[in-house]
Amino acid sequence: MVSIRKSIARGGYRLGCRLLPVLPKWPGELALVKFLNVQLAEELEEGEFDFLEGRVLEIAVIDFRISLRMGKSGARFVRAPASAITDAAIAAKAVDFLAIASGREDPDTLFFHRRLSISGDTELGLTAKNRLDAIDRSRLPQRAQRWLVLIAGALADAAAK
C-alpha cells in the first residue's frame, strides 16, 4: 500500500514537473486566492492581512517552474495584475512548501538549509510568513488537513529518492 502511494507520488511529481511549466498559471492563482479567501475569511475580516493591501507577493515553486502572484484588495485576496511589479518573492520546491503548509517543517530551518529563499521586500515576506504561522490549522476541514499531511509526506518520501 505504502509503495503504491509512493510510486503514485513519484509519478505525479514527475508529471507535474513536466506539465505545470507549460500550462497557463491563472487557474492555479485563482484556485489559491479562492481557497485562501474561504479559509482565512475571519483573519481577513480582522485585518490581519492588511499589510498585503496593494502589494504583490510571489510564491515561486521552483521545481514546477511556476510562480503564483497574489495581493489583497478590500477584504479579499486577489490575483496580481500582470502589470504589477512583485514586491516580495518566496521561492522553494513544492515538497518544501507542502512541508511548511502541513506543519512538518519550520520555514527558518528551510531557510538556514538554503531550501527556501526570500527576495525583494524582506519585511513583507517575513510578515506574510508570521501571519501564516499564526493561522489555526485545526480550522481547516479535516479532510483537507489529512490530504495535506498525506501529500506532504508522500512528496517528501519521493524527493528523498
Partner 1 sequence: MELVCPAGGLPALEAAIDNGADAVYIGFNDDTNARNFGGLNFNDRSALRALERIRSRGRKLFVAINTYAKPGSFSRWQAAVDRAADLSADAMIMADIGLMEYARDKYPKLSLHLSVQASATSVAALEFYRRQFGIRRAVLPRVLSLKQVQQLAAGSRVELEVFGFGSLCIMAEGRCHLSSYVTGESPNLNGVCSPARAVEWRNGANGLETRLNGVLIDRFADNENAGYPTLCKGRFVVDGKRQHALEEPTSLNSMALLPELKAAGIQAIKLEGRQRSPAYVAQVVRTWREAIDEVLQRGADFLVKERWRGTLAKNSEGKQTTLGAYDRPWQ
Binding residues (CB under 8 A) for partner 1: these are: 48, 51, 100, 103-109, 111-114, 117-119, 121-123, 126-131, 133-137
How near is the Cβ of 42 to partner 1 at its closest, in Å?
12
- Cell (9 digits) for 110: 528551510
Closer residue to partner 1 in complex, CB, 28/95: 95
**113-119: long-range contacts, CB 8 A cutoff, minimum separation 24:** 116/90, 116/91, 116/92, 117/90, 117/91, 117/92, 118/88, 118/89, 118/90, 118/91, 119/88, 119/89, 119/91
Closer residue to partner 1 in complex, CB, 29/96: 96
Tell the residue number behind the cell numbers 480582522, with chain if given. Answer: 46
How near is the Cβ of 155 to partner 1 at its closest, in Å?
16
Closer residue to partner 1 in complex, CB, 71/107: 107
Closer residue to partner 1 in complex, CB, 28/44: 44
Describe the crossing of helices 142-160 and 94-101 by its angle, rounded to 10 degrees: 140
How near is the Cβ of 47 to partner 1 at its closest, in Å?
10
| Whole-number Cα distances in Å, 5 to 17, 63, 76 | 18, 21, 36
How near is the Cβ of 96 to partner 1 at its closest, in Å?
12
